[in-house]
């Protein structure tokens, strides 16, 4: 197998992982990434179940485990910052055995280094015709396979498939870096009030903290490229709210980065059209509420390359992935409902549960039961 040329759009998670597997199967691979360099900042993500097998087969699981965030505990606080309860992070997040939590940027770097393929930064696909791809830079190229791994709002998907519905799950999420004035040390601190979730975590008192602001809302109209407008939306949603809302909003104005997006899912009706195939969030974004998007992108990359090598082709990729994807999307929808409790009563129940849980002799089994659907979804594929 020689000279088959693949172009992969997006060097996030799915893109570099797919580059790794296609290159090993003999494809000549080019990655194109719109950002001027690898986007190595960002938030922490979980890798669970079948996806940990993919990391092992890539030979990067041990290195990823070494970069685990090492979060010790999750602490729920009241409006004035007083502690309600703390629980071990691994227990609450349901991490088992080989599962890990890693900063998305660290994972991207690991995957990209392992893939070792040519990467064009600062460019993107502008047009796809029967014979050739045109880039925003004006360059052109010919490829046998085009993989759209350019995320939830994939441009490549739009070029090849037209508009694909993005399902709004009732809220907006954001994350940005702030100085760690609280001295947070391997801990995640969470505060909720009806329709609002505010959290902050840091990997040591000397490291910057990451804040997350999530709020319930109907779909809003805003310019996705206008960070100033997104900051205004956060100010409107969190000004005068509890815990450190106003301090974090003040820090937001100087934050070096901001991720802001709707809490939403993509479930592409088809994963491929001609020689263009969708991968990761571009095809099946389960939403950050699921904690499964990274895992789907990793498993998808593996299955895609495997099916192309073993005769299943692009149809085989969709056939193998679809049931696993559907399980994870269903799980994501369920989690999105609980992510931001809508009433004081629901928050009161949750707080009571957290306060009493740590004294419960069978707390591990109780949490396992609650998280069983997550483990089921994470392992709902044989690879
Ligand atoms: C706050 C937050 C927390 C999360 N927590 C978790 C978690 O705990 N567990 C989990 O599994 N997942 C989590 N996720 C989701 C996870 O980050 C994504 O599902 C995962 O990164 C998807 O990988 P991907 O490669 O499909 O897309 P991305 O990682 O989004 O990568 C897409 C890449 O494409 C690039 N790009 C975009 N447009 C273009 C273009 N036109 N041309 C070229 N390149 C382009 C982008 O710059 C980016 O590098 C979380 C997400 C958020 C926002």
Q: Which of 46, 104, 278 to mutate to test the pocket of ligand 1 (most atoms within 8 A of CB)?
A: 104
Distances (CA, A) of 134 to 3, 27, 143, 189: 20, 20, 11, 46
Residue with the larger pLDDT of the pair 359 and 13: 13
Q: What is the mean pLDDT of residues 44-63?
A: 97
**CA 41 to ligand 1 center in whole angstroms:** 12
**Which of 368, 300, 286 has the alpha carbon at shortest distance from 328?**
286
**CA 324 to ligand 1 center in whole angstroms:** 19
Q: What is the largest CA-CA distance in the chain?
A: 65
Distances (CA, A) of 274 to 6, 15, 38, 315: 13, 19, 29, 11
Residue-level pLDDT at 148: 98
CB 104 within 8 A of CB 294: yes
Length of the chain equals 383
Question: Which DSSP letter does residue 221 get?
Answer: -
Q: How far apart are CA 248 and CA 200, in angstroms?
A: 9
pLDDT in tens, 223-277: 999 999 999 999 999 999 999 999 999 999 999 899 999 999 999 999 999 999 9
pLDDT band at 357 (very low <50, low <70, confident <90, very high): confident
Residue-level pLDDT at 1: 47
Crossing angle of helices 293-309 and 313-339, in 10° steps, is 170
Q: What is the mean pLDDT of residues 74-98?
A: 92
Atom of ligand 1 nearest to the CA of 259: 53
Q: What is the mean pLDDT of residues 336-361?
A: 89
Q: Give φ, ψ of 45 to 5 degrees.
A: -130, 150
Atom of ligand 1 nearest to the CA of 295: 11
**What is residue 228's three-state secondary structure?**
helix
pLDDT in tens, 287-344: 999 999 999 999 999 999 999 999 999 999 999 999 999 999 999 999 999 899 899 9
DSSP string, 280-306: THHHH---GGGT-HHHHHHHHHHHHHH
Is the pLDDT at 25 greater than 80? The verdict is: yes
**CA 151 to ligand 1 center in whole angstroms:** 5
Q: How far apart are CA 378 and CA 101, in angstroms?
A: 14
Half-sphere exposure for 305 (CA within 13 Å, toward CB): 25
CB 283 within 8 A of CB 12: no
**CA 280 to ligand 1 center in whole angstroms:** 8
Residue-level pLDDT at 239: 98
């Amino acid at each position: 197998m020689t000279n088959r040329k693949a172009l992969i759009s997006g060097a996030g998670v799915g893109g570099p992982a797919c580059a790794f597997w296609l290159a090993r199967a003999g494809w000549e691979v080019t990655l194109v990434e719109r950002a001027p360099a690898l986007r190595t900042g960002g938030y922490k993500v979980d890798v669970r179940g079948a996806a940990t097998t993919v990391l092992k087969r890539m030979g990067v699981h041990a290195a990823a485990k070494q970069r685990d965030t090492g979060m010790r505990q999750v602490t729920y606080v009241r409006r004035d910052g007083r502690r309600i309860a703390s629980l071990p992070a691994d227990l609450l997040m349901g991490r088992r055995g080989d599962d890990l939590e890693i900063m998305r940027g660290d994972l991207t770097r690991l995957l990209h280094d392992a893939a070792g393929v040519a990467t064009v930064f600062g460019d993107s696909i502008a047009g796809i015709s029967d014979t050739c791809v045109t880039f925003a830079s004006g360059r052109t190229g010919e490829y046998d396979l085009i993989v759209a791994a350019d995320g939830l709002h994939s441009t490549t998907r739009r070029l090849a498939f037209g508009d694909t519905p993005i399902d709004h799950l009732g809220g907006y999420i954001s994350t940005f870096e702030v100085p760690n004035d609280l001295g947070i040390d391997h801990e995640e601190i969470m505060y909720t009030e009806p329709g609002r979730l505010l959290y902050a975590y840091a990997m040591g008192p000397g490291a910057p903290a990451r804040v997350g602001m999530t709020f319930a809302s109907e779909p809003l109209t805003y310019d996705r490229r206008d960070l100033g407008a997104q900051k205004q939306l956060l100010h409107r949603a969190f000004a005068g709210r509890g815990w450190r809302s106003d301090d974090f909003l003040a820090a937001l104005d100087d934050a070096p980065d901001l991720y802001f997006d709707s809490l939403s899912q993509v479930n592409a009706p088809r994963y491929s059209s001609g020689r263009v195939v969708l991968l990761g969030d571009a095809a099946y974004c389960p939403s950050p509420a699921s904690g499964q998007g990274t895992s789907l992108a990793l498993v998808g990359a593996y299955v895609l390359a495997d099916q192309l090598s073993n005769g299943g082709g692009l149809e085989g990729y969709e056939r193998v992935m679809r049931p696993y994807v559907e399980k994870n999307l269903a799980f994501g929808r369920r989690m999105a409902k609980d992510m931001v409790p809508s009433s004081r009563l629901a928050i009161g129940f949750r707080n009571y549960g957290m306060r009493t849980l740590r004294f419960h002799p069978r707390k591990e089994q109780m949490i396992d039961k609650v998280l069983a659907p997550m483990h089921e979804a994470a392992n709902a594929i044989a690879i």
